[in-house]
Structure 1
């Protein structure tokens, strides 16, 4: 307790360095993260907010027992706090108003304030008249109007809310609250929960934050949940503090799914004293508990179109906190020190299963190495495989089998780091044998770079629990050749779920890993993620946005930036055996496209149950022993198969499906969609029940198809067996314009169609799925129909007068 009392106010370094007077840091921020009251024993801090007040930055976070101050965003001083009685609630928010700092959390309507947060002397505001029960609140002061607002929300059902409040009347609301951001996981993949955004449920939208830039209001929110690496912050933009708001298409702007530590959600954007923007956010470990979290600091900037971006991908590498105004559009502040330690050979004095030595340098904070004891003398060693220039080492301690709780949260490690050229003779490099500061994520920058091959960290103090590491990360220069530029990038956007992409590229022989960059414009690939394999499957994209990608390669000697930018296209597979099916003609149902699950087909169960045809794929294909007919057997709702067809000329075609439902009283059916347009399709057609191979024929008549190549998707509802499909020329046809009471020119057209009618009547334009898009009764014989805002394809103009009905095909090119 003597040490604890002495260090109640102590200085912590967010990986601070003195080299060349630079403030060099790396995420996670190196704070004395507090242990929690409950089991299991673990540190936690999350939901941060940071404000500059009276010459210092003040950083608050959930479950911290206090807060931190800093003169420079690099060196932090912890301030324990007992006068805020609600600080064990989640999600603090701070308001600077009239030379005072106000503090508020969710799950309470109590507000505290102080004019000197350097000391623990907060007072409770009385009376407090804010009448809403809220979670994840966020104060906002509009500097232009002086008005104060409150935003809140933390739910997988309820929206992000907001209301104006009156600080002169106990922060009572002015008017009624408004719904500002609803859940849209069907459109925005990053809002969907799951390790890979794969769960079929609504995520949590939470943690709002508001900033203003050039007269626009940027309302930030987090999704889908703090326990995931894909936790990020997105943005809606509006002209007023309470909306309406429009989704910013580059969302999530703060996002870090890869690298050593992931997560960049439930954050707060603020300005430093030089005018630079920063974002402080929650990062994820979630090993012992889903709420085992840390904090990260990220440079952010607005581009020339006032779109907000954050540098995240390399912020768990060393970077510089600038001491002046800088242009973050042109620099991420990186020190350009490379990772030297990834998956190099390691050894240790002992290991506590399953926390093996290899876990300490695999760039996954969720894993780690632990010795069998906490005794002095336990060590961990790495071989860089050749002499390299070491500039910095980040030591991330894991607190394995600690029993500390919030009332006994102060922990300090004592250790030494040595280096060697041979692995036999060791020389001191870093001496922390007398350390008394709680530094669980310290980046130690060497005053002088050191050539070394072997490095060893040794515990020098007997301790409760076990000597353990989440990561021992070495940075510097590998003094070798750069990897080659990435080639062979292939991008497949999933056919039914446009939120998901699969990327593959050629592996570079001497690459440690890759940076995948993407954006909604080819010249703005400002979102990025680090991976250590030559592929990425991800579902955190917007359903209706176009995306462009490039891949950088890196190793111990530096980065080779990808110059080839590739657009991600929807992939429906390729024709089976390379043969495009020409229509009119017959297509066997089992001859669906090649390309795999989620692209050429989707099947709800793994493996081909009957293995009669295309045995390596999941579609269940059977054979009738009597007739030899091969067919798709016993489908399930949601399954589909794709077929690439060639249409010789635009026109109407009939589609026959040969098959049968499996169960009487529970008939299944099908519908068709075309060219990846999942928002429309033909009506569901029920299939009669039949015994194989006594199938039935169900016909879709007069499908309008344009000349060229198309993908037809056969979508299934329920359990049916399907033999084949037959495309035939449609029988109904269209009126010959020369014999019709309707003349159209030009046709085809880029969008404007001039229509001349023989007399007054009713005009109706519909798309190929029967949806009406234009209707008018006209007395004029000359009309203009404008389809400029509609997709290319075939439309049908119907003109009716008396008992006459004429149809003309409109082709928009």
Structure 2
């Protein structure tokens, strides 16, 4: 077989950029475009989801849906793409869909979703290049949304799978020699939306027209306990999340963890944190990779995010998504940190809803959509040609540490994976809007960077930033977010006052899966973060809210008491947190 290796190394050409210590979600990889015409009736667009990251020989290997290949990285920042089709014929119209990947006895294995029993398991000992062999020609059990777990303590292999709003997730043991199930299949977990509010279908968890889906199985073993992770209620919603059941047996006796969903991000710019996988970095710290929704041109328009995760002293599994789409420390620079407290750098968003100017505007794709902190909305210039530009006013001279550029897909021409495409641009800074200095020069960039993130080696001080387009890989020059991070030099908000939690009493009839928060609007605040949990010392959940003084939380478990806390933030920093409120 002819080996085709395509390695795309994300690099920068600007003098002020050195080794980065941070990354920012959505992660910046060269996402392929949806391969399906029927999903492109409202416009062709990039799309992937259902990610798996495994650590193999101290390198991170990332597989996700319909990419005609996969990525690997040494540091979780620079991702190298390896082109590889795992299809043997045209039986399937897509490549790996919701793939499984696992390490067993010094080899990396990959398997794609199928309802049939005709998809092989592939094996590689050299996956940084396209060097794969078929480990078993046909996995007879067949599995959609599969996940394998190799228990090296027992030298046993298990398979979990399922994607349904009727059936539970299933599990079976796989013979490590034949790589086949020996026929004993058991139900593992199912949804209980009548008790778990976050499992209800719909953007507002209201079960509006379908029952919720359970999917995205993943297993992690920690302290001789098995953590069965699953996604719900559906990929196209901001409340898409991962929950977890725990057992001392890999196939039986799973119990719902008290802290659930453990991976949840319904607010902020990049929303959704479901159908993911948990992995360890090279320093034995845990991370969780999962699906971010956009769902503008199609329900399956999605991206990927990575969040710090772990297990606390009581073996409670958590994933910290607070400020989870702001600059976050990379593994090498986070190895001594407490992951339960998060890895956010403290660099604030400097241009939320600030004034903007542009070179041109296409129809209703208004300029202010670039700074509204909503990945679903975007501005588009009339063309994609050199010279189109976007300018943002920070409102004051500010310290700038990093910039994230989120391109949107407007009038793009591609279906499926593209190679050799690239973005080029320059970013200028000014304090008066007249005299400009080059801050970032990507005029020689030769890589595809749809969510480019640049951390400056030396922070700069500017009020205005201007991005000039030099080259687009396809389509118009369009942005869903030009996000500037650092610190302003004015006041940060005061502590939030009059934080009220409204919920039906357990002794009265009412909808206890939903909780209404109200608080006094802080005139200096851009937004707020609500922390939640079922113990005052385990407020692992979080919800980011912009520009409002209320939030309707629909993700509560009916029977349990909760604890809540809130803080305000703006471009200058975060307030002190409020007192903790208990809701029975």
Pick closer, same or farther for the CA change 1:106–1:132 going to 2, 3 Å. Answer: same
For 2:533 and 2:317, how far apart are their aligned partners in 1? Answer: 13
Pick closer, same or farther for the CA change 1:492–1:347 going to 2, 3 Å. Answer: same
Q: Is 1:96 matched up with 2:103? A: yes
Partner of 1:534: 549
Match of 1:268 among 256, 273, 277: 277
User: How far does the alpha carbon of each residue in 1:316-369 deviate from its partner, in whole angstroms, 9 at most, with x for none?
Assistant: 111111327334345422211011010001111111122100000100000011
Q: Is 1:37 matched up with 2:51? A: no
Pick closer, same or farther for the CA change 1:420–1:17 going to 2, 3 Å. Answer: closer
User: How far does the alpha carbon of each residue in 1:676-708 deviate from its partner, in whole angstroms, 9 at most, with x for none?
Assistant: xxxxxxxxxxxxxxxxxxxxxxxxxxxxxxxxx
Match of 1:317 among 306, 317, 326: 326
Report 1:478-493 matches (<5 A).
Answer: 478-493=488-503
Q: Is 1:328 matched up with 2:338? A: yes
Q: Is 1:79 matched up with 2:76? A: no
Pick closer, same or farther for the CA change 1:408–1:172 going to 2, 3 Å. Answer: closer
Higher normalized contact order (CA 8 Å, seq sep 6+, divided by chain length): 2
Partner of 2:576: 561
SS at match of 1:190: helix
SS at match of 2:64: strand
Pick closer, same or farther for the CA change 1:273–1:539 going to 2, 3 Å. Answer: same
Q: Is 1:23 matched up with 2:7? A: no
Partner of 1:755: none
Q: Is the 8 A contact 1:511 1:554 kept in 2?
A: yes
Q: Is 1:238 matched up with 2:247? A: yes
Q: Is 1:394 matched up with 2:397? A: no
Q: Is 1:217 matched up with 2:231? A: no
Contiguous gaps of at least 5 residues in structure 2: none
For 2:473 and 2:537, how far apart are their aligned partners in 1? Answer: 53
SS at match of 1:168: coil
Partner of 1:720: none
Report 1:571-650 matches (<5 A).
Answer: none
User: How far does the alpha carbon of each residue in 1:596-633 deviate from its partner, in whole angstroms, 9 at most, with x for none?
Assistant: xxxxxxxxxxxxxxxxxxxxxxxxxxxxxxxxxxxxxx
Partner of 1:145: 154
Partner of 1:203: 212
Q: Is the 8 A contact 1:259 1:313 kept in 2?
A: no
Pick closer, same or farther for the CA change 1:84–1:464 going to 2, 3 Å. Answer: closer
Report 1:471-550 matches (<5 A).
Answer: 471-494=481-504, 496-532=510-546, 533-550=548-565
CA shift, 1:373, in A, is 1.1
Partner of 1:577: none
Q: Is the 8 A contact 2:403 2:484 kept in 1?
A: yes
SS at match of 2:284: coil
For 1:406 and 1:463, how far apart are their aligned partners in 2? Answer: 14
For 2:474 and 2:226, how far apart are their aligned partners in 1? Answer: 50
For 2:268 and 2:72, how far apart are their aligned partners in 1? Answer: 28
Report 1:602-751 matches (<5 A).
Answer: none
CA RMSD of aligned residues (A): 2.2
For 1:168 and 1:18, how far apart are their aligned partners in 2? Answer: 53
Match of 1:114 among 121, 124, 139: 124
CA shift, 1:125, in A, is 2.8
Pick closer, same or farther for the CA change 1:400–1:115 going to 2, 3 Å. Answer: same
Aligned residues: 563
SS at match of 2:82: strand
Partner of 2:457: 447
Pick closer, same or farther for the CA change 1:401–1:409 going to 2, 3 Å. Answer: farther
Larger strand fraction of residues: 1
Pick closer, same or farther for the CA change 1:375–1:27 going to 2, 3 Å. Answer: same
SS at match of 2:22: strand
User: How far does the alpha carbon of each residue in 1:747-779 deviate from its partner, in whole angstroms, 9 at most, with x for none?
Assistant: xxxxxxxxxxxxxxxxxxxxxxxxxxxxxxxxx
Q: Is the 8 A contact 1:227 1:286 kept in 2?
A: yes
Pick closer, same or farther for the CA change 1:567–1:273 going to 2, 3 Å. Answer: same
Q: Is 1:66 matched up with 2:69? A: yes
SS at match of 2:61: strand
For 2:427 and 2:124, how far apart are their aligned partners in 1? Answer: 43
CA shift, 1:462, in A, is 6.9
Q: Is the 8 A contact 1:302 1:329 kept in 2?
A: no
Pick closer, same or farther for the CA change 1:384–1:155 going to 2, 3 Å. Answer: same
Q: Is the 8 A contact 2:409 2:478 kept in 1?
A: yes
CA shift, 1:400, in A, is 1.1
Match of 2:202 among 180, 194, 203: 194
For 1:21 and 1:418, how far apart are their aligned partners in 2? Answer: 21
Q: Is the 8 A contact 2:431 2:463 kept in 1?
A: yes
Contiguous gaps of at least 5 residues in structure 1: 570-813
**Larger Cα-atom Rg:** 1
